[in-house]
Amino acid sequence: MRKSVQKIQNLKNEGKKITVLTAYDYSTAKYVDECDIDIILVGDSLAQVVLGYENTTDVSMKEMQIFVSAVSRGVEKAMVVADMPFMSFQISKEEATKNACKFIKAGANAVKLEGSSPYLLDIIKHLTSIGIPVMGHLGFTPMSINTIGGHKIQGKDSQKTIDILNEAKKLQEAGCFSVVLEMVPKQSSKFIASKLDIPVIGIGAGVEVDGQVLVVDDILGKYDRLKPRFARQYCNLKDIMKDAINAYLNDVRNSNFPNDEESFILEQKEEEALESYR
Protein backbone atom coordinates (compact mmCIF):
# COMPACT_ATOMS: atom_id res chain seq x y z
CA MET A 1 0.00 0.00 0.00
CA ARG A 2 1.45 3.37 -1.07
CA LYS A 3 1.66 6.34 1.33
CA SER A 4 -1.47 8.48 1.35
CA VAL A 5 -1.89 12.25 1.57
CA GLN A 6 -2.90 11.77 5.22
CA LYS A 7 0.31 9.82 6.00
CA ILE A 8 2.37 12.68 4.48
CA GLN A 9 0.41 15.26 6.49
CA ASN A 10 0.92 13.22 9.68
CA LEU A 11 4.69 13.48 9.18
CA LYS A 12 4.46 17.29 9.31
CA ASN A 13 2.08 17.18 12.26
CA GLU A 14 4.49 14.89 14.15
CA GLY A 15 7.50 17.07 13.28
CA LYS A 16 9.07 14.26 11.20
CA LYS A 17 10.96 15.21 8.03
CA ILE A 18 9.44 14.17 4.70
CA THR A 19 11.89 12.50 2.30
CA VAL A 20 11.49 13.02 -1.44
CA LEU A 21 13.67 12.13 -4.43
CA THR A 22 13.03 12.05 -8.12
CA ALA A 23 13.21 8.79 -10.09
CA TYR A 24 12.55 8.19 -13.76
CA ASP A 25 13.05 4.46 -14.44
CA TYR A 26 11.83 1.16 -13.00
CA SER A 27 14.97 -0.04 -11.21
CA THR A 28 15.99 3.31 -9.71
CA ALA A 29 12.43 3.79 -8.46
CA LYS A 30 12.47 0.27 -6.98
CA TYR A 31 15.75 0.88 -5.09
CA VAL A 32 14.61 4.31 -3.86
CA ASP A 33 11.36 2.73 -2.67
CA GLU A 34 13.22 -0.13 -0.95
CA CYS A 35 15.16 2.55 0.99
CA ASP A 36 11.84 3.60 2.54
CA ILE A 37 11.37 7.06 1.06
CA ASP A 38 8.09 8.91 1.56
CA ILE A 39 7.52 10.39 -1.92
CA ILE A 40 9.00 9.64 -5.35
CA LEU A 41 8.63 12.47 -7.86
CA VAL A 42 8.74 11.74 -11.57
CA GLY A 43 10.00 15.25 -12.21
CA ASP A 44 10.05 17.06 -15.52
CA SER A 45 13.78 17.41 -14.72
CA LEU A 46 13.94 14.14 -16.67
CA ALA A 47 13.86 16.42 -19.74
CA GLN A 48 17.46 17.34 -18.93
CA VAL A 49 18.90 14.43 -16.95
CA VAL A 50 17.37 11.57 -18.93
CA LEU A 51 16.47 12.97 -22.34
CA GLY A 52 19.30 15.51 -22.70
CA TYR A 53 17.05 18.46 -23.57
CA GLU A 54 18.18 22.01 -22.79
CA ASN A 55 15.19 22.92 -20.56
CA THR A 56 12.42 21.18 -18.65
CA THR A 57 9.93 22.90 -20.98
CA ASP A 58 11.09 20.61 -23.81
CA VAL A 59 9.54 17.39 -22.47
CA SER A 60 6.09 16.33 -23.71
CA MET A 61 3.17 14.69 -21.96
CA LYS A 62 3.64 11.57 -24.10
CA GLU A 63 7.29 11.26 -23.02
CA MET A 64 6.48 11.87 -19.34
CA GLN A 65 3.80 9.14 -19.39
CA ILE A 66 6.37 6.47 -20.29
CA PHE A 67 8.50 7.36 -17.26
CA VAL A 68 5.52 7.67 -14.91
CA SER A 69 4.44 4.11 -15.83
CA ALA A 70 7.99 2.74 -15.49
CA VAL A 71 8.43 4.29 -12.04
CA SER A 72 4.98 3.18 -10.91
CA ARG A 73 5.78 -0.43 -11.79
CA GLY A 74 8.79 -0.28 -9.44
CA VAL A 75 7.14 1.32 -6.40
CA GLU A 76 5.16 -0.41 -3.65
CA LYS A 77 5.32 1.84 -0.59
CA ALA A 78 6.09 5.45 -1.51
CA MET A 79 3.63 7.99 -2.88
CA VAL A 80 4.35 8.55 -6.60
CA VAL A 81 3.90 12.14 -7.79
CA ALA A 82 3.92 12.92 -11.53
CA ASP A 83 5.08 16.34 -12.66
CA MET A 84 2.69 17.93 -15.15
CA PRO A 85 4.95 19.10 -18.02
CA PHE A 86 4.85 22.43 -19.82
CA MET A 87 1.71 22.83 -21.96
CA SER A 88 -0.05 19.88 -20.33
CA PHE A 89 -2.17 22.13 -18.09
CA GLN A 90 -1.81 25.69 -19.49
CA ILE A 91 -4.26 25.36 -22.39
CA SER A 92 -7.57 24.54 -20.69
CA LYS A 93 -9.04 23.02 -17.57
CA GLU A 94 -10.34 20.11 -19.67
CA GLU A 95 -6.91 19.38 -21.09
CA ALA A 96 -5.32 19.66 -17.63
CA THR A 97 -7.88 17.22 -16.19
CA LYS A 98 -7.41 14.77 -19.05
CA ASN A 99 -3.63 14.84 -18.64
CA ALA A 100 -3.72 14.51 -14.85
CA CYS A 101 -6.03 11.49 -15.28
CA LYS A 102 -3.55 9.94 -17.74
CA PHE A 103 -0.87 10.09 -15.04
CA ILE A 104 -3.16 8.53 -12.43
CA LYS A 105 -4.03 5.78 -14.91
CA ALA A 106 -0.29 5.29 -15.50
CA GLY A 107 0.09 4.55 -11.77
CA ALA A 108 0.82 7.92 -10.11
CA ASN A 109 -0.92 8.83 -6.85
CA ALA A 110 -0.74 12.61 -7.29
CA VAL A 111 0.37 15.31 -9.70
CA LYS A 112 2.55 18.41 -9.30
CA LEU A 113 1.81 21.77 -10.89
CA GLU A 114 4.01 24.89 -11.00
CA GLY A 115 2.56 28.30 -10.15
CA SER A 116 -0.42 29.90 -8.42
CA SER A 117 -2.37 31.95 -11.00
CA PRO A 118 -6.18 32.15 -10.58
CA TYR A 119 -6.49 29.83 -13.62
CA LEU A 120 -4.25 27.29 -11.90
CA LEU A 121 -6.10 27.57 -8.58
CA ASP A 122 -9.28 26.67 -10.43
CA ILE A 123 -7.60 23.58 -11.92
CA ILE A 124 -6.23 22.54 -8.51
CA LYS A 125 -9.73 22.85 -6.97
CA HIS A 126 -11.17 20.74 -9.76
CA LEU A 127 -8.48 18.03 -9.61
CA THR A 128 -8.75 17.69 -5.83
CA SER A 129 -12.55 17.57 -6.11
CA ILE A 130 -12.29 14.54 -8.41
CA GLY A 131 -9.83 12.79 -6.09
CA ILE A 132 -6.49 13.71 -7.65
CA PRO A 133 -4.11 15.03 -4.98
CA VAL A 134 -2.03 18.03 -6.10
CA MET A 135 1.43 19.13 -4.99
CA GLY A 136 2.18 22.82 -5.67
CA HIS A 137 5.53 24.32 -6.68
CA LEU A 138 6.56 27.91 -5.82
CA GLY A 139 9.71 30.02 -5.54
CA PHE A 140 11.88 29.34 -8.56
CA THR A 141 9.62 27.55 -11.04
CA PRO A 142 11.73 26.13 -13.91
CA MET A 143 8.85 26.35 -16.42
CA SER A 144 8.95 30.15 -16.09
CA ILE A 145 12.69 30.34 -16.75
CA ASN A 146 12.06 32.57 -19.78
CA THR A 147 10.14 35.07 -17.63
CA ILE A 148 12.43 34.83 -14.60
CA GLY A 149 15.54 35.06 -16.80
CA GLY A 150 17.70 32.28 -15.31
CA HIS A 151 18.11 30.23 -12.13
CA LYS A 152 17.42 33.11 -9.73
CA ILE A 153 16.81 32.99 -5.97
CA GLN A 154 13.22 33.95 -5.10
CA GLY A 155 11.81 35.61 -1.95
CA LYS A 156 14.98 37.63 -1.39
CA ASP A 157 13.39 40.25 0.89
CA SER A 158 10.62 40.31 3.48
CA GLN A 159 7.94 41.60 1.06
CA LYS A 160 8.79 38.99 -1.58
CA THR A 161 8.73 36.30 1.12
CA ILE A 162 5.27 37.43 2.22
CA ASP A 163 4.19 37.38 -1.45
CA ILE A 164 5.29 33.73 -1.74
CA LEU A 165 3.52 32.92 1.54
CA ASN A 166 0.30 34.44 0.15
CA GLU A 167 0.65 32.36 -3.01
CA ALA A 168 1.26 29.24 -0.90
CA LYS A 169 -1.81 29.99 1.21
CA LYS A 170 -3.90 30.17 -1.96
CA LEU A 171 -2.54 26.77 -3.04
CA GLN A 172 -3.39 25.37 0.39
CA GLU A 173 -6.93 26.79 0.20
CA ALA A 174 -7.36 25.41 -3.32
CA GLY A 175 -6.59 21.93 -1.95
CA CYS A 176 -2.87 21.27 -2.51
CA PHE A 177 -1.65 18.63 -0.06
CA SER A 178 1.94 19.99 -0.09
CA VAL A 179 4.08 22.55 -1.82
CA VAL A 180 7.62 22.42 -3.20
CA LEU A 181 9.61 25.59 -2.47
CA GLU A 182 12.63 26.03 -4.74
CA MET A 183 15.63 28.36 -4.35
CA VAL A 184 14.37 30.51 -1.49
CA PRO A 185 16.55 31.86 1.38
CA LYS A 186 16.38 29.58 4.42
CA GLN A 187 14.84 32.20 6.74
CA SER A 188 12.10 32.91 4.17
CA SER A 189 11.34 29.19 3.76
CA LYS A 190 11.23 28.66 7.53
CA PHE A 191 8.77 31.57 7.83
CA ILE A 192 6.57 30.21 5.01
CA ALA A 193 6.60 26.61 6.34
CA SER A 194 5.67 27.79 9.85
CA LYS A 195 2.60 29.67 8.53
CA LEU A 196 1.18 26.79 6.47
CA ASP A 197 -0.72 23.71 7.61
CA ILE A 198 0.40 21.64 4.61
CA PRO A 199 4.00 20.37 4.32
CA VAL A 200 6.61 22.50 2.57
CA ILE A 201 9.17 20.41 0.67
CA GLY A 202 12.35 22.39 0.07
CA ILE A 203 14.91 22.30 -2.71
CA GLY A 204 17.55 24.95 -2.17
CA ALA A 205 15.33 26.25 0.62
CA GLY A 206 17.35 25.49 3.77
CA VAL A 207 16.80 22.93 6.47
CA GLU A 208 13.87 24.40 8.40
CA VAL A 209 11.08 23.19 6.15
CA ASP A 210 9.03 20.00 6.44
CA GLY A 211 10.98 17.88 3.96
CA GLN A 212 13.59 17.88 1.22
CA VAL A 213 13.58 16.90 -2.44
CA LEU A 214 16.56 16.45 -4.77
CA VAL A 215 17.10 15.10 -8.24
CA VAL A 216 18.34 11.50 -7.87
CA ASP A 217 20.98 11.95 -10.59
CA ASP A 218 22.44 14.86 -8.58
CA ILE A 219 22.82 12.89 -5.32
CA LEU A 220 24.35 9.97 -7.25
CA GLY A 221 26.70 12.17 -9.33
CA LYS A 222 25.40 10.90 -12.65
CA TYR A 223 24.40 14.11 -14.50
CA ASP A 224 27.31 16.47 -15.10
CA ARG A 225 25.86 19.37 -17.10
CA LEU A 226 24.47 21.26 -14.10
CA LYS A 227 25.69 21.20 -10.49
CA PRO A 228 23.29 23.23 -8.36
CA ARG A 229 24.81 24.61 -5.14
CA PHE A 230 21.93 23.15 -3.11
CA ALA A 231 22.41 19.56 -4.33
CA ARG A 232 24.62 17.30 -2.19
CA GLN A 233 26.44 14.57 -4.12
CA TYR A 234 26.74 11.28 -2.18
CA CYS A 235 28.68 9.24 -4.75
CA ASN A 236 30.22 9.63 -8.17
CA LEU A 237 28.15 7.34 -10.33
CA LYS A 238 29.54 8.89 -13.50
CA ASP A 239 33.07 7.73 -12.58
CA ILE A 240 31.82 4.35 -11.30
CA MET A 241 29.97 3.81 -14.59
CA LYS A 242 32.90 4.92 -16.74
CA ASP A 243 35.34 2.68 -14.80
CA ALA A 244 33.05 -0.31 -15.35
CA ILE A 245 32.53 0.52 -19.04
CA ASN A 246 36.29 0.92 -19.59
CA ALA A 247 36.98 -2.37 -17.81
CA TYR A 248 34.49 -4.11 -20.11
CA LEU A 249 36.01 -2.52 -23.24
CA ASN A 250 39.49 -3.65 -22.13
CA ASP A 251 38.26 -7.19 -21.46
CA VAL A 252 36.66 -7.38 -24.92
CA ARG A 253 39.74 -5.95 -26.64
CA ASN A 254 42.06 -8.37 -24.75
CA SER A 255 39.78 -11.41 -25.24
CA ASN A 256 39.23 -11.59 -21.47
CA PHE A 257 35.47 -11.58 -21.99
CA PRO A 258 33.55 -13.87 -22.10
CA ASN A 259 35.12 -16.70 -20.04
CA ASP A 260 33.77 -20.27 -19.99
CA GLU A 261 31.24 -19.52 -17.22
CA GLU A 262 29.83 -16.79 -19.43
CA SER A 263 29.69 -19.06 -22.53
CA PHE A 264 27.62 -22.07 -23.62
CA ILE A 265 29.82 -25.19 -23.94
CA LEU A 266 29.41 -28.09 -26.38
CA GLU A 267 29.77 -31.64 -25.10
CA GLN A 268 33.31 -32.94 -25.69
CA LYS A 269 32.26 -35.52 -28.33
CA GLU A 270 30.50 -32.82 -30.34
CA GLU A 271 33.56 -30.62 -30.09
CA GLU A 272 35.73 -33.49 -31.35
CA ALA A 273 33.31 -34.09 -34.24
CA LEU A 274 33.71 -30.46 -35.25
CA GLU A 275 37.49 -30.73 -35.03
CA SER A 276 37.53 -33.78 -37.36
CA TYR A 277 35.19 -32.12 -39.89
CA ARG A 278 36.90 -31.28 -43.25
Binding region for ligand KIV (CB under 6 A): 22, 41, 43-45, 83, 180, 203, 213, 215
B/e letters for 224-253, b = 16+ CB within 10 Å, e = fewer, are eeeeeeebeeeeebeeeeeeeeeeeeeeee
CB distance 143 to 86 below 8 Å = yes
Residue closest to ligand KIV (Cβ): 43
CB distance 130 to 94 below 8 Å = no
Identify any residues that bridge with 18 across adjacent strands, giving them in sequence order.
Answer: 211
Which of residues 41 and 121 has its CB atom nearest to ligand KIV in the complex? 41
Q: How many residues are listed for the chain in this entry?
A: 278
Which of residues 50 and 101 has its CB atom nearest to ligand KIV in the complex? 50
Residue 271 appears among annotated catalytic residues: no
Residue 41 CB, nearest approach to ligand KIV (Å): 6
Which of residues 102 and 244 has its CB atom nearest to ligand KIV in the complex? 102
Of 167, 182, 272, 275, which is the active-site residue? 182
Residue 56 CB, nearest approach to ligand KIV (Å): 6
Residue 70 CB, nearest approach to ligand KIV (Å): 16
Which of residues 139 and 185 has its CB atom nearest to ligand KIV in the complex? 139
Residue 182 CB, nearest approach to ligand KIV (Å): 6
CB distance 256 to 247 below 8 Å = no
CB distance 213 to 203 below 8 Å = yes
**At a CB cut-off of 8 Å and minimum separation 6, what does 77 contact?**
1, 2, 3, 33, 36
Active site residue ranges:
182
